[in-house]
Amino acid sequence: MLLKRVVITGIGVVSPFGRGIENMMNSLLAGKSGVVQVPGLSEITGMRTRVAALATGVDPMEIPRKFRRSMSSMSIFATLASLDAAAMAGLTEAHLSNGRLGVSIGSTIGSPQTMQDFFRDFGIDNSLERMKSTLFFHIMNHSCASNVAQMLGVTGRILAPSAACSTSCHAVGYAAEMIGMGKQDFMLCGGADEFHPLTSGTFDIMNAASTAFNDSPTSTPRPFDLDRDGIVCGEGSGVLLLESLESAIGRNATILAEILGFATNSDPGSIANPNSSCIANCMRLALDAEVKPEQIDYVNAHATATEQGDIAECEAISSIFGNTTPVSSLKGHLGHAMAASGTLELAACIEMLRHGLLIPTLNLEHVDPLCANVQHLHGVTKRPVTTVIKNNFALGGVNSSIILRRYT
Amino acid sequence: MTDQEIIEQINSSLAEEFEYALGDMTPDTTLFEEMGLDSLDVVDLVIVLESAFGMKIREEEAIRKIRTLGDIHTFVIDKKRQMESA
């Protein structure tokens, strides 16, 4: 329970469907896939997956060189998304710099591409003489948060949560708690990641990456589907501008949604495999005393199209919400943008709340009988939506859930 | 390389690294005020020059006194000539 009510007044996204929430929502509603074949992957020995959902519509030159020099792709994504979120919220320079606004943006790791470039060069002759002065700023774990703060002139708190696929759910949850405690009035929060073969390869090695649809990339991933064969990695950034309700009302801001609950827990049973009872516990913690299960109108699932993950999540959802609450995953459209996935999907949830439209799972044609214990959506559904729960689960045994409510 | 070729190589390397318009580069162009470089950029400027001309200049005392593009031109030309005569 938050001591102060926390609302969302700005959204910024960089996704496979370009920059901006409108582009992303139009594509989601149209049932488009952002997954493409990535030619370079076929040249990597041992790499079986050849597809990914790559960010589009990004012009790094929008960011002045002075700030861009310390950014890898993920920080560029996060900065553009943050600029858009701040602009949508109508923030002024004074809001950004008066110490009452903080940044909570994380990534899975620092820039893998910069690390690769450095170690490739370092390995030639064991020399540091060619190392650029700004290299470290690309690879430090708080690269995205710091770069956003530098570019936007933020003087408040900096937080850089890192929990792989749960990262941006954490970033939003912890940001809401900071505002709820009165430590900050505004938080730019979310996640970002850049695609690198290391990420796909990690899942490929664990037999958790999609490999059967390399020649038909838009047919994968297939969350909950009988023919699913694993994760498709993606990239991008989602950033939300959170603020206290009193601040939003005080400055007459347009309120997009309210954050009602956040929970996260650890699953020590396995560093790789999810457990349905731990997932269910996480959702129950998020529901808290504020929201009853029957009040949830829609579950935005993490569902990445792995056998174990999808089944465990369906068991957990079913145990709390039964089989009548609509459920879908947006991974079929967006792939799995790792640290960005939580806020990209939360951004879509906000729009679903505002417009009373629920988006189905792309590529879900034949529901796996082991995932049939929940109510899957099979088409864009128009219905009043007041309260939704959004899940993210990460390698490392990190679960997270956020509850959003339409603001009226 | 002639002196003019060295100057052109310096200017094109720095224009690319620091995204500065080649047409605006004159010997009087100041690195800090006009090109907008700072202490981090100076570190990278040395790396760019070392890479472009195959020389080691990081520890050179004269580097610390450089203020304009013309100072760099003179420094590099002198250094190249020293290397050639060594």
- Could you read off the pLDDT of A86-105 as tens digits, one per residue? 999 999 999 999 999 999 99
Burial class (CB in 10 A: 0-12, 13-18, 19+), A145: buried
A302 catalytic residue (yes or no): yes
pLDDT average, residue stretch A11-32: 98
- B75: helix, strand or coil: helix
Task: Calculate the alpha carbon distances from A136 to A107, A166, B17, B39 in Å.
Answer: 15, 24, 18, 15
The whole-number pLDDT of residue A154 equals 98
For A30-81, the pLDDT digits (tens) are: 999 999 999 999 999 999 999 999 999 999 999 999 999 999 999 999 999 9
For all residues of chain A together, what is the average pLDDT? Answer: 97
Look up residue A22 and give its amino acid: E
pLDDT range class, residue B13, cuts 50, 70, 90: very high
Chain A residue closest in CA terms to B43: A133
The catalytically annotated residue of A95, A170, A196, A302 is A302
Task: Answer yes or no: do B40 and A129 touch at CB < 8 A.
Answer: no
Question: Which residue from A129, A130, A133 is facing B40, i.e. has the nearest CB?
Answer: A133
- Residue to mutate among B16, B18, B19, B48, with most A CBs inside 10 A, is B19
Buried b (16+ CB within 10 A) or exposed e, A149-180: bbbbebebbebbbbbbbbbbbbbbbbbbbbbb
User: A41 CB contacts (<8 Å, ≥6 apart)?
Assistant: A47, A49, A50, A51, A52, A197, A200
Q: Are A190 and A237 in contact (CB under 8 A)?
A: yes
- Domain boundaries, given as residue ranges, for chain A: 6-250, 261-405
A349 is catalytic: no
Map residue B30 onto helix, strand or coil: strand
Gap from A91 CA to chain B (nearest CA, Å): 28
Asked if B40 and A69 come within 8 Å (Cβ–Cβ), the reply is yes
Query: How would you class A5 by CB atoms within 10 Å of its CB: exposed for 0-12, middle for 13-18, buried for 19 or more?
Result: middle
CA distances from A277 to A264, A265, A266, A280 (A): 13, 11, 11, 5
Q: Which of A62, A70, A129 to mutate to test the interface with B (most CBs of B within 10 A)?
A: A129
- Distance set, CA A139 to CA A134, A173, A282, A342 (Å): 10, 24, 31, 22
- Cβ of A107: how many Cβ atoms within 10 Å? 32
Architecture of domain A6-250: 3-Layer(aba) Sandwich (3.40)
Rounded percentage of chain A residues whose pLDDT exceeds 70 = 100
Q: Evaluate if residue A123 carries a pLDDT over 90.
A: yes
Contact B40 A131 (CB under 8 A): no
Cβ atoms A59, A18 nearer than 8 A: no
B16–A contact, CB cutoff 8 A: no
How far apart, in whole angstroms, are the C-alpha atoms of residue A158 and residue B40?
Answer: 23
Which chain A residue has its CA at the smallest distance from B57's CA?
A129
Give the pLDDT score at A1: 64
Domains and CATH numbers, chain B: 3-85 (1.10.1200.10)
pLDDT for residue B48 is more than 90: yes
- Given a cut of 70, whether residue A193 has pLDDT beyond it is yes
A64 vs chain B: nearest CA distance in angstroms?
10
Q: Do residue B36 and residue A133 have CB atoms under 8 angstroms apart?
A: no
Cβ neighbours of residue A104 closer than 8 Å, sequence gap 6 or more? A145, A157, A158, A159, A160, A161, A171, A172, A174, A175, A178, A187, A188, A189, A190
Task: Give B49's Cβ-side CA count (13 Å radius).
Answer: 25
Residue B31 amino acid letter: L
Q: Which of B18, B44, B56 sits opposite A133 (nearest CB)?
A: B44
Distance of residue A127 Cα from the nearest chain B Cα, in angstroms: 13
- ipTM surpassing 0.90: yes
Flag if B51 and A133 touch (Cβ within 8 Å).
no
Question: Which band of pLDDT confidence, cut at 50, 70 and 90, is reported for residue B84?
Answer: confident
Give the model's confidence band at A2: pLDDT under 50 very low, under 70 low, under 90 confident, else very high. confident
Name which CATH class applies to A261-405. alpha beta
Domains A6-250 and A261-405 share a fold: yes
Beta bridge partners of A404: A259, A388
Q: Do A65 and B40 touch (CB under 8 A)?
A: no
A270-324 residue pLDDT tens: 998 889 999 999 999 999 877 999 999 999 999 999 999 999 999 999 999 999 9
Q: What is the mean pLDDT of residues A152-179?
A: 97
Residue A25: φ, ψ to 5°: -65, -40
**B41 at interface of A, judged by CB pairs closer than 8 A:** yes
- Residue A333 among the catalytic residues: no
Residue A127 is predicted with a pLDDT of: 94
- Non-local (6+) Cβ contacts of A59 within 8 A are none
Q: Are strands A186-193 and A158-159 parallel, antiparallel or unpaired?
A: unpaired
